[in-house]
A and B are shown apart, each in its own frame.
Chain A
Amino acid sequence: MSLTPYEFSTVPRLRKLQVINSLRKGARIDGRGFEDYRKITIELGTIPKAAGSALVRIGDTTVLVGVKTEIGEPYRDRPLEGVLQVHAEFVPLASPTFEPGPPDENAIETARVIDRSLREPRAIKLEELTIVPGRKVWIVFNDIYLLDHNGNIVDTSMLATMAALRTARLPRVVSVEGDTVIIDKSTREKPLPVQLSVVIVSVAKINGYLLVDPNIDEESVLDAKLMIGVDEKGRIVGMQKTGQRSFTRSEVDQAIELALKKAGELHTFLNQALAGR
């Protein structure tokens, strides 16, 4: 069951005035412009035991993604394709409001929004992950680990996911006899077949103002947020509105325009980080 969030219901009301007063003056509480991201850093290969990994920070929000692979069976309705699974864990060390336990609706939503933005445009060529058609395929687990929550988890997680997937390598398949597949786990050879890069730009609406990359104070008072997945060709590959209020049509149009512009910058940044490895 989904409940209206009930933690911290009074503090944000005071904070909201502060945030809005700042926006009225044309600035955000941390001094950024409406279209500015916080500082982004991408570190690759943080976890050598993973097939691919990346630690991404947007401001103080920190996400670690590790990709693991194993041999398994394909989905029954997709016998000629490998399997991609995206999971997100909001572990309790990341925020005073997180509790241990199975993923809550926010973690599930984050994972599913990222999953769809990869799956729908076929960012990974899953058909190339088949080993024995209909029976044995690569299963790719993309685990998103939120380490420090200071707002805009989804954009950060998507960047970390993309960086980890694009640097991931599969172990060598030593032999295939019937359904028996032997792999050499000590090797990392073939790159994961990633054919398309995707980023997500979240646009927050606060009292009619639209801004990108909301920090945690802005998130606690925002009216609504639109997460927009954009691929490197400038197509919209996924979208999700969250938050307890609405958008007008012209706000949605503006949000998309903003997202397309910022997505181009994120793609360039990601490509530079990957080229420099």
Chain B
Amino acid sequence: MMHEKPILIREDGLRHDGRKPEDLRPIKMRVGVLKNADGSALVEFGKTKVIAAVYGPREAKPRHVALPDRALIRCRYHMAPFSTDDRKSPAPSRREIELSKVIREALEAAVFTELYPRTTIDVFIEVLQADGGTRTTGLTAASLALADAGIPMRDLVAAVAVGKVDGVLVLDIDQLEDEYGEADMPVGIMPNLGEIVLLQLNGVLTPDEFRKALDLAYRGLKEVYRLQKEALYRKYYSGY
């Protein structure tokens, strides 16, 4: 049944979980968490927990999908049945089909697919626990998994969702803020190049609010990018 809208911005200006509007949740990243996959990563933003694995470049199956001039990327974003409050049916929902597409397109912009013609690069994203920002956490993890697989990229992809809650623009919204807020804007960028590879807006913003929201995302993604590089150093740089 319908719940009453909780207070999202407290009187002291902090959010329901005590964060400031421009704060990220506590973030954890680990690279190379699976043995079989060519590359893998586990990323957590607060209670949101997503694992990503990359297989490839490998032979395209079925053969007719192979591209003569570059690798084909196959991507699946999927939520585990136990990841949500009510059990989620494991069959792919319309939402998961759409998100698989926007995440694939975001990764295509980063990967040098032209280096591996006639192959596929498979990216599998499993949401283990969902508490808001699963697509952005998944994209962040997928780009780490690609790097872990040694696949050349223009840049890593770092992603986060900005929201508008109780009229305030806030960084890295969680499920409660997504559910009761006025806007949810997932943003994925290649931080070093400054280019946008994923952008969605679910909600209402004035053009001015949009620009401020994008600024907020860019500032937060600097930190996400730093943590991504740190996670890669931890695995690959013995002097770290």
Determine whether B15 belongs to the interface, using a CB cutoff of 8 Å to chain A. Answer: no
How would residues 190 to 232 of chain B score, 1 for a CB under 8 Å from any chain A CB and 0 otherwise? 1001111111111111110011001000100000000000000
Determine whether B2 belongs to the interface, using a CB cutoff of 8 Å to chain A. Answer: yes
Q: Check if A243 sits within 8 Å of B105, measured CB to CB.
A: yes
- Count A-B contacts at CB 8 Å: 130
Query: B116 to chain A: closest CB distance in Å?
Result: 12
Q: Check if A3 sits within 8 Å of B195, measured CB to CB.
A: no
Q: Check if A3 sits within 8 Å of B102, measured CB to CB.
A: no
Determine whether A68 belongs to the interface, using a CB cutoff of 8 Å to chain B. Answer: no
Docked CA distance A70–B175 (Å) = 32
Partner of B190, one of A2, A106, A236, A246: A246
Q: How large is the interface on A (under 10, 10 to 19, 20 to 34, 35 or more residues)?
A: 35 or more
Query: A224 to chain B: closest CB distance in Å?
Result: 8
How would residues 1 to 29 of chain B score, 1 for a CB under 8 Å from any chain A CB and 0 otherwise? 11000000000000000000000000000
| Chain A contacts with B in 217-260, Cβ cutoff 8 A | 224, 226, 231, 234-249, 252-253, 256, 260
List of A residues within 8 angstroms of B67 by Cβ? 4, 6, 9
How would residues 94 to 138 of chain B score, 1 for a CB under 8 Å from any chain A CB and 0 otherwise? 110110111111001100010000000000000000000000000
Q: Check if A79 sits within 8 Å of B199, measured CB to CB.
A: no
Q: Check if B199 sits within 8 Å of A2, measured CB to CB.
A: no
Determine whether B59 belongs to the interface, using a CB cutoff of 8 Å to chain A. Answer: no
Q: Check if B105 sits within 8 Å of A242, measured CB to CB.
A: yes
List of B residues within 8 angstroms of A224 by Cβ? 109
Docked CA distance A121–B195 (Å) = 28
Docked CA distance A239–B66 (Å) = 31
Q: Check if B109 sits within 8 Å of A244, measured CB to CB.
A: yes
Query: B94 to chain A: closest CB distance in Å?
Result: 5
Determine whether A172 belongs to the interface, using a CB cutoff of 8 Å to chain B. Answer: no
Determine whether A49 belongs to the interface, using a CB cutoff of 8 Å to chain B. Answer: no
Partner of A9, one of B69, B101, B183, B197: B69
How would residues 102 to 134 of chain A score, 1 for a CB under 8 Å from any chain B CB and 0 otherwise? 000110110110001000110000000000000
List of A residues within 8 angstroms of B218 by Cβ? 249
List of A residues within 8 angstroms of B2 by Cβ? 77-80
Instruction: Say yes or no: A105-B65 contact (C-beta < 8 A), given A112-B94, A236-B201, A238-B201.
Output: no
Which 7 residue pairs are nearest across A and B when measured between Cβ atoms? Answer: A239-B201, A246-B195, A2-B100, A244-B108, A241-B199, A2-B104, A2-B101
- Assuming A116-B202, A244-B109, what are 6 further A-B pairs, CB within 8 angstroms? A121-B204, A236-B206, A238-B201, A241-B197, A242-B102, A247-B199
Which residues does B use to contact A, with CB under 8 Å?
A: 1-2, 64-69, 72-76, 94-95, 97-98, 100-105, 108-109, 113, 183, 185, 190, 193-207, 210-211, 214, 218
